[in-house]
Amino acid sequence: MIINGANPSRVSQLAEGIIGSEIIKLNGEINQLKAKGVQVYNLTIGDFDSNIFPIPDLLKEEIVKSYKNNETNYPPADGILPLRQQVSHLLKRKLGLEYNDQEILIAGGARPVIYAIYQTIVNPGEKVIFTVPSWNNNHYTYLARAEAIQINTLPENNFMPLAKDIEPFIKEASLLALCSPQNPTGTVFGKEQLEQIVHLVLTENERRKKEGIKPLFVMYDQVYWELVYDPFQHFNPVSIHPSMRDYTIFVDGISKSLSATGVRVGWAFGPKDVISKMKAILTHIGAWAPKAEQVATAHFMSNTAAYDAFVEHQKSELFTRLKLFYTGIKHLHQLHLPIDVIEPQAALYLTVRLNLLHRKTNDGRHFATSEDILNYLLNDGNIAMVPFYAFGSDKNSDWFRLSVGTCKKEDIPEILSHFHRILEKVKK
């Protein structure tokens, strides 16, 4: 059908309206510079350089062994039983959470799990509350044909939401999407902060129960929880109040704690009735983790000493890099250069502010938008970071995500000197 002389779309309305990744677009620009021989310090990727951050040797050996043992057929739709049992043991051992193997769903990383949560909980036209900046909730809301309620978080709260931010919208929503540690900020919920949100959810669900209304569920993405740095701690809704068990679906996996982003082993855990429906959805998509990787991960996780030692090593390596950047950027801030940073709390990210909007360089270039800042950083400083507008924030946000997953420690002083050089060219 042709309307008003225009050519008809060849694809569905859903496909027509999907938005591409800003991070992929940025990496295209980085690759163009690299093709010209320009050295770019790429601090954009929420991933690891596997030559700097390899997966555990024992896990690698177990994967190879599993393929040699021909573990190459379909796995069960909810994951192999030994792996679900090992996830159950991990949750009990390290978080004190009691979830049996029927309440755990294995998938090919965290993304299929998140997709399944949205499809299981949210009807078309219903509302989802999520904060910005945050990773991809806007896209999953769109794919569920739901309506987004975006809450803009503030730097003074480490870009984490408060109960008072959520409260005005809570009666409207089917799903509240929370993430701690947060991507892109690398910040975490404080205990009291999360307690207040939990109280809000439980109070709302008491009201809904009396009125016979569908409950409000919380998606709690904690895929970075193993990577929380002292003195900060990881908190979750169910540990704070056991009644949240009926309303919380967790997102988790090995991708960050074990540098295993490409191994594709993630999981959800939550109420059995919800998990079983998520399993049914993923059955038709086929988004399970490969069986060999599942077998290998189960074997590796059963070696608790090796697992714990690797996680501690991973934390140490990441925190060393984050601390070097944090200390260096704070030094530049103390020199009255237009840059600041939030203390590293978790994950592989720093939250950096480049306070350049509406300022000029000494040669007259003007920073009208965060895209101008991004281009200056990339073209003059050979540094790439992800602007918060890629995570749903306003286009004029001057905050950026710095990721250390592909960064060599010996490169950090050089990167800091590049920051220094280009920031000195900005008029005070």
Nearest alpha carbon to residue 232 among 259, 193, 198: 193
Q: How many domains does the chain have?
A: 2
Q: How many CA atoms lie within 13 A of 211 on its CB side?
A: 10
The letter for the amino acid at 70 is: N
- Local confidence pLDDT in tens for the 428 residues of the chain: 444 556 678 899 999 998 877 777 777 888 888 888 888 899 998 999 999 999 999 999 999 999 999 999 999 999 999 999 999 999 999 999 999 999 999 999 999 999 999 999 999 999 999 999 999 999 999 999 999 999 999 999 999 999 999 999 999 999 999 999 999 999 999 999 999 999 999 999 999 999 999 999 999 999 999 999 999 999 999 999 999 999 999 999 999 999 999 999 999 999 999 999 999 999 999 999 999 999 999 999 999 999 999 999 999 999 999 999 999 999 999 999 999 999 999 999 999 999 999 899 988 889 999 999 999 999 899 999 999 999 988 888 999 999 999 999 999 999 999 999 999 999 77
Quote the CA–CA distance of 101 and 99 in Å, as a whole number.
Answer: 7
Q: What are phi and psi of 81, to 5 degrees?
A: -60, -45
* CATH number of the domain enclosing 19: 3.90.1150.10
Same domain for 175 and 159?
yes
The pTM score is: 0.94
Quote the CA–CA distance of 259 and 348 in Å, as a whole number.
Answer: 11
DSSP string, 151-212: EE--GGGTT---HHHHGGGGGGEEEEEEESS-TTT-----HHHHHHHHHHHHHHHHHHHHHT
Boundary of a domain, candidates 288, 308, 328: 308
Same domain for 359 and 321?
yes
151 in any annotated domain: yes
SS3 state at 405? coil
- According to DSSP, residue 108 is labeled S
Same domain for 392 and 246?
no
1 in any annotated domain: no
368 in any annotated domain: yes
- According to DSSP, residue 361 is labeled B
Same domain for 184 and 86?
yes
SS3 state at 91? helix
Contact (CB, 8 A) for 236 and 260: no
- pLDDT for res 243: 97
7 in any annotated domain: no
Same domain for 110 and 150?
yes
Task: Write b or e for each residue in 31-43: b if 16 or more Cβ atoms lie within 10 A of its Cβ, otherwise e.
Answer: eebeeeeeebbbb
Q: What is the dihedral of CA 159, 407, 236, 197, to 10 degrees?
A: 10
Q: Which residues pair with 258 in a beta bridge?
A: none
Q: What is the pLDDT of residues 194-243, one digit of tens each?
A: 999 999 999 999 999 999 999 999 999 999 999 999 999 999 999 999 99
Same domain for 25 and 67?
no
Helices 370-381 and 412-423, axial angle in degrees (round to 10): 120
4 in any annotated domain: no
- pLDDT for res 1: 42
Same domain for 284 and 366?
no
Same domain for 301 and 316?
no
226 in any annotated domain: yes
Rg of the Cα atoms in the chain: 22
Contacts of 221 (CB under 8 A, 6+ apart): 110, 114, 177, 178, 179, 180, 183, 250, 251
Quote the CA–CA distance of 174 and 120 in Å, as a whole number.
Answer: 11
8 in any annotated domain: no
Boundary of a domain, candidates 270, 287, 308: 308
Across the chain, mean pLDDT equals 94
Longest CA–CA separation in the chain, Å: 68
Same domain for 182 and 99?
yes
What number of other Cβ atoms are within 10 A of residue 52's Cβ? Answer: 15
Range of the domain at 105: 57-308
Structure tokens given for 303? 């070696």
Boundary of a domain, candidates 246, 276, 308: 308
Same domain for 171 and 23?
no
Task: Write b or e for each residue in 285-317: b if 16 or more Cβ atoms lie within 10 A of its Cβ, otherwise e.
Answer: eebbbbbbbbbbbbbbbeeeeebeebbeebbeb
Same domain for 78 and 49?
no
Contacts of 109 (CB under 8 A, 6+ apart): 253, 255, 261, 264, 265, 266, 289
| Long-range contacts (CB closer than 8 Å, 24 or more residues apart) made by 410-417 | 411/41, 412/321, 412/324, 412/325, 412/328, 413/328, 414/41, 415/41, 415/43, 415/325, 415/383, 416/325, 416/328, 416/329, 416/332
Contact (CB, 8 A) for 176 and 167: no
Same domain for 220 and 268?
yes
- pLDDT for res 32: 84
409 in any annotated domain: yes
* CATH number of the domain enclosing 204: 3.40.640.10
